[in-house]
A and B are shown apart, each in its own frame.
Chain A
Amino acid sequence: MTPSTAPDVISLRDITKAFPGVVANDHISLDIVSGQVHCLLGENGAGKSTLISILAGMQQPDAGTISINGVPAAITSPKAAVDYGIGVVHQHSTLVPAFTVLENLMLGETGLMMQKKRAAERLDELSELLGAQIDPHALAADLGLGQQQQVEIAKAIWKGSRLLVLDEPTSMLTPQAIENLSESVARVKAQGLAVVFITHKLREAYAMGDCVTVLRGGRNVGHISVEELATYSEQQAQDAILRAMFGDDLKTVGAEDAAELAGATESTREIRSIDLATRPVRLELLGVSSHGHGRDVEVDDVALQVHEGEILGVAGIDGHGQGALAEVVAGQRSASSGTVRFDGKDVTRLGVRGRQQLGLRYVTDDRLHEGTVGSMSVALNLVIKRIGQRPFWRFGQIQNKAVDQEAARLIAEYDIRTPSPATRAGTLSGGNIQKILLARELTHGARLVVVNKPTYGLDLKTVQLVREILIDFASNGGSVLLLSTDLDELVELSHRIEVISRGRIVGSVTNDGPGTAEKVGHYMTGAIEGVQA
């Protein structure tokens, strides 16, 4: 595809789409111009993904038109979208779990013969472009979320297209991969393609974007043109975006918090210090190795302690055994050796339900397929970990009144935005699904909660809210085992940070002043592996 003199323009006009109880898109108009990165920002539930799915032919708008260079385009199906040269990386994985990476990538091929060799070459090319290492023969199901995302990107740019849409591509990537991604976005752009880039991180929007559109409540509430953005400093751009994004709400937050929302300030510890020596140990792992059925990294001989009221961070590159660690603590994965003690009691042989009743909870990183059942109501999802227990079940029979009451209570307490408790959980926005998980796990006698990547894909305000919820939980005597790939988050929340690599704990850092991030980084790169800090 060669850059032409007159740039391609894809114009959306008055796009409107309503779902039961919400207007997801409300007369949205915008122009997408080739050779530009168009950033789309907005809170969780603002309607970004809905707009994208209309562009991708997965949904039809109730009203409004799309035209390409002034010619109306009927994007009636995903195939039609591909024919128009629109490639999309969706927010949530669309890979077929039972297929290999290569098979997934070749799904869109129309030729009679599957040209495996050519496909493998193309994958190599794309892997390099993305700065990712992807085993072409691995099953999609066996990849970590981070790697799946990378395969998705490869899939969307598999065929040169007119427009590449990335719906929150960076939320799961390592800083290194984000760097690589922004490079490849630049290259894609240089080839004359238009790029639509959805993100919650203002820094990325400023660094990668040529222009910015902000959505709120389904409306286009602010546009920063190419010319304007070029003249803005990063600070000015952030202010403008935040003002559009949160409107009047922002005034109640205050300037300092606003800057923090934007992630502009350097992260510092926000949690009060506690004297670990006086606190009883709540969770203790002694030489624990895990044993699962998948191909993901297992934990190997891990020892750690979490005290009452403590937030223990676990840092590491995605896919280095965090999932196994979380599961072996939650009881979802069995330990092949070692002991798990909870409040002094050996719980190694206890299953998920036994541990849950003792107050050991788990907020998984796969909120859509593991943490919730999308086809079931919000209310049921809120009690799903207490199936069969009173007062929700009596004599094995569900008590809808009690369930509805509990749901109403949690929805109010955690401010879960849902049209009704009976709404299917899968239709809520990412932030609100995460609130369902937190509400469910932290209620009713929670003593320790394992949280895995608790804030990925959440909007700035919700990220802040989730962190506050965790801090509150800890200051009230709860314990948190926080697994995260976001160093800023770990530094902000943790008392101590363990570093995990290839399933082993390779270092431990007390978070007591500046320099924590560097120390953690050193352990992660293995620079001072084996040397005690």
Chain B
Amino acid sequence: MITEHSRARNIVDGLVRSILPVILALIVAGFIMLAMGSNPLDFFAGVWTYGITGGNWQRSLVLMAPLVIVAVGLIVAFRGQLWNLGYNGQYLLGAVVASGVGPYLFAALPAWLATLIIFVGAILVGAVWSLIPAILKARYGTNEIITSLVMSFIAVGIVNLLIKGPFKDPNTPMPQTAVIPDDQLLPYIPGTEIHVGFVIAIVLALVAQFVLSRTSFGLRMDIFGASPKAARHVGINSTWMVILLFALSSGLIAFAGSIDVLGQYTYQRANWDPHYGDAVMPFVFLARLSPLAAIPLVAFYAILATGGTLAAQQAGLNVDFLLVIVGLILIFMTITEYVGERRRLGQSYLPPGLRRTLVRPFDGMRGRKSS
């Protein structure tokens, strides 16, 4: 009975911890908008109008496709306590495989085969790109945050060089790749304008959820993440695990890039970087590294981003305001987490120092009144 009760409490607790930071962030963002002289209600109404109503929900779902895949990629690495922060470079590498090599392949091969080769190629390029941080980590314990970031910068540079050089469309003066014609792009889900990449992304998230929570591989991963010592003890090859998880993570993120080009963008410009990983990161943590739980959270962000771009312009805000909201979510997530942890330990919600400083002025006031 006790366990039943506490299980129910745990679920409620988890929900609160995932949703509360988002709500708080939206409220505070509202106040910031007020302070900047914009009407937050206009903004949120705009998000609703441009993100959901009419056919706009379809645009939101199209944005969800790469976001969900990037989220799954991050989850795979983070579950194993591997901090793959090279996602921007990995995404662009995958994208440039599609935008740069795609036009040649589509010219020579049937569309389905070209698409397949692009996907496999993108995943492989992403995976190979992660080998250096992975091997350094596995062999020498080098901090993968730094190495993966550095590799990401290099990747961004290479992608730009490729787009300005060999992959440049000779028919325009702009540094960009050739546009892939409509009939060679990913097909739409019948009756909509959402490309099938969305379906692929959702299926991927579901498969990942199953693998992580129900299979022996998922358990090995969790053991490895919880304690490398225990992993060695139960016979998990940690070198192999690091390399595999990094390759999976990076490969998936690159896959997201190629899907995005073939489904939505049709070409790639130099110096373009949507920074999906940065936006998705807090939601991955809010979802407690569960791919399934990440889906609704990513959906929320996709709507916010889709509707928010226009809404922000209308409310007289910079589009970068969206990143402010994401940042606020991160901050409130940390606070909620901290408070929850204190409460779990049976301690006060407020750290002792803060409580003292908060309570003392009131004590003083009371004293003054009575005197």
State the A residues within 8 Å of B (CB).
17, 20-21, 58-62, 74, 76-77, 79-80, 331-332, 351-353, 356, 362, 364, 366, 369-376, 380, 384-385, 387-388, 393, 396-398, 419-420, 422
Contact = CB atoms under 8 A, between A and B. Distances in A.
Interface in B213-251: 214-217, 219-220, 222-223, 226-227, 229-230, 232-235, 237
- Give the interface size bracket for B toward A: 20 to 34
A375 B346 contact: no
Contact of B214 (A59, A385, A398): A398
A7 to B, nearest CB: 28
Interface of B: 2-3, 6, 214-217, 219-220, 222-223, 226-227, 229-230, 232-235, 237, 345-348, 351-352
Contacts of A369: 227, 229-230
Contacts of B351: 77
5 contacts: A353-B235, A364-B233, A370-B229, A373-B230, A396-B216
Contact of B348 (A76, A331, A370, A397): A76
Contacts of B347: 59-60, 76-77
Contacts of A388: 216
A398 B232 CA distance: 21
A76 B220 contact: no
B78 to A, nearest CB: 15
A79 B347 CA distance: 13
A20 B346 contact: no
Nearest to B233: A370
B344 to A, nearest CB: 10
Contacts of B223: 373, 376, 384
Contacts of A366: 229
Contacts of A352: 232-235
B352 A396 contact: no
Main secondary structure, interface of B, reads helix
Contacts of B232: 332, 352, 370
Given A20-B6, A77-B351, A356-B235, A58 B226 contact: no
B230 A21 contact: no
Nearest to B351: A77
Given A59-B345, A62-B346, A422 B3 contact: yes
Given A59-B346, A380-B219, 9 more contacts: A20-B3, A21-B3, A58-B345, A76-B347, A332-B233, A373-B226, A373-B227, A384-B219, A393-B215
A351 B214 contact: no
B226 A398 contact: no
B41 to A, nearest CB: 42
A384 B352 contact: no
A174 to B, nearest CB: 24
Contacts of B216: 387-388, 393, 396, 398
B234 A419 contact: no
Nearest to B224: A373
Contacts of B352: 74, 76-77, 79-80
Contacts of B215: 393, 396-398
Contacts of A80: 352
Given A80-B352, A331-B235, A60 B220 contact: no
Interface core residue of B3, B220, B351 (most chain A CB under 10 Å)? B3
A353 B6 CA distance: 36
Interface core residue of A62, A374, A385, A397 (most chain B CB under 10 Å)? A397
A522 to B, nearest CB: 35
Nearest to B215: A396
A516 B210 CA distance: 57
Contacts of A419: 2-3
A356 B236 CA distance: 13
A370 B2 contact: no
A371 to B, nearest CB: 7
Contacts of A376: 222-223, 226
A387 B234 CA distance: 9
Given A58-B345, A396-B217, A385 B234 contact: yes
A420 B1 CA distance: 11
Contacts of A331: 235
A371 B230 contact: yes
B340 to A, nearest CB: 15
Contacts of B348: 60, 76
